[in-house]
Amino acid sequence: MTDKIISAKNVELKFGKGSEEVVALKDISLEVGAGEFVSFIGPSGCGKTTFLRTVAALEKPTSGQILVNGVSPDEARTNRAYGYVFQSAGLYPWRNISKNVSLPLEIMNYSREEISKRVSESLNLVELNGFEKKFPWQLSGGMQQRASIARALSFDADLLLMDEPFGALDEIVRDHLNEQLLDLWQKTGKTICFVTHSIPEAVFLSTKIVVMSPRPGRIVDVIESPFPSSRSLEIRDSKEFISISQRVREGLRSGYDYNENKG
């Protein structure tokens, strides 16, 4: 039980009231173990981001229970249990890269020596050393996103929540960052929850793929990946890769059938 980083039981979340009511999450039950790399995939409105925000205590479930590290999300946040990476890098334009990475550490009252040590370690992990004094506008989109990952890693939380971090980047940069992220995950042994709407990205990165569907947001399939944790971009041409991709696609399609039958 203790190695369950996230455990969700019958989580339901509704926005609005009456005729305006939207069911963002319905009956979500899921467990994420330590060291797993879990992708959440689905069309927009399927609640994948909402689920991540619920784990981060940025949203409160209407009913059901969710535990992070065995405690409530609020308490987990107080314990600084996770780092969060948003779709846009969200770097502060008035802080240089090293100051951006040190932001959470300043808020958490780390000592000055500890801050400089951790900043250089985190920048090392995302291969951004040498860019400490640059300001965000002097960096490319991919580098900005790497800086924001470094910022999420800086206080060494065991869980990394990533909400479409590479969604705004072109495919070449994305491939490169995917490899880097895998590498980083293996080196650090962190648990990663990764929201995406790219099938290849989900299949390439994950040990577990959660396929979701909209209206109401729910889980339609959970796929365990057969690939070893150490993998290269070539696996994308393998038979298994293609068959998993197919299964994901079917899962996504079944969500639509469900809606059509209903409506």
Partner 1 sequence: MTTMRIRAKKFLKTIAEKILPILTILFLLTIVWYFFTIYLNSAMQIDKYDKQGISWNISKLVLDTMSQERPKLPAPHQIAEEIWKTTVEKKITSKRSLIYHSSITLSSTIVGFILGTVLGVVLAVSIVENRAMESSLMPWIIASQTIPILAIAPMIIVVLNSLGFSGLLPKALISTYLSFFPIVVGMVKGLRSPDIILVDLMKTYNSSKVDIFFKLRLPASVPFLFTSMKVAIAISLVGAIVGELPTGAVAGLGARLLTGSYYGQTIQIWSALIMASILAATLVFSIQAIGYLVSKKMGYTNEEA
Residues that bind partner 1 (CB under 8 A): 56, 58, 77-78, 80, 82-84, 86-88, 90, 92-96, 103-104, 106-108, 135, 137
Going by C-alpha positions, the residue among 3, 35, 29 that lies closest to residue 206 is: 35
262 token code pair: 């209903």
80 token code pair: 């600084």
CA-to-CA dists, residue 65 to 9, 37, 218, angstroms = 5, 22, 15
Least distance from partner 1 to the Cβ atom of residue 82, Å:
7
Least distance from partner 1 to the Cβ atom of residue 259, Å:
29
Between 77 and 231, whose beta carbon lies closer to partner 1? 77
Between 169 and 220, whose beta carbon lies closer to partner 1? 169
33 token code pair: 């173990």
Least distance from partner 1 to the Cβ atom of residue 63, Å:
23
Sign of the four-CA dihedral 234, 149, 161, 154? positive
Least distance from partner 1 to the Cβ atom of residue 86, Å:
5
Between 95 and 176, whose beta carbon lies closer to partner 1? 95
Instruction: Determine the Cα angle at 203 with ends 140 and 173, to 5°.
Output: 15
CA 95/CA 77 separation, integer angstroms: 24
261 token code pair: 């039958």
Q: Are strands 191-196 and 4-15 parallel, antiparallel or unpaired?
A: unpaired
Between 34 and 58, whose beta carbon lies closer to partner 1? 58
Going by C-alpha positions, the residue among 162, 185, 181 that lies closest to residue 86 is: 162
Beta bridge partners of 12: 63
169 token code pair: 């980047």
Between 141 and 200, whose beta carbon lies closer to partner 1? 141
Between 69 and 213, whose beta carbon lies closer to partner 1? 69
Least distance from partner 1 to the Cβ atom of residue 59, Å:
10
Between 168 and 235, whose beta carbon lies closer to partner 1? 168
CA 31/CA 28 separation, integer angstroms: 10
Q: In 108-238, where does DSSP find H-type helix?
A: 112-125, 141-153, 171-188, 199-205
Least distance from partner 1 to the Cβ atom of residue 50, Å:
13
Which H or E element spans position 138? Answer: none
Least distance from partner 1 to the Cβ atom of residue 235, Å:
33
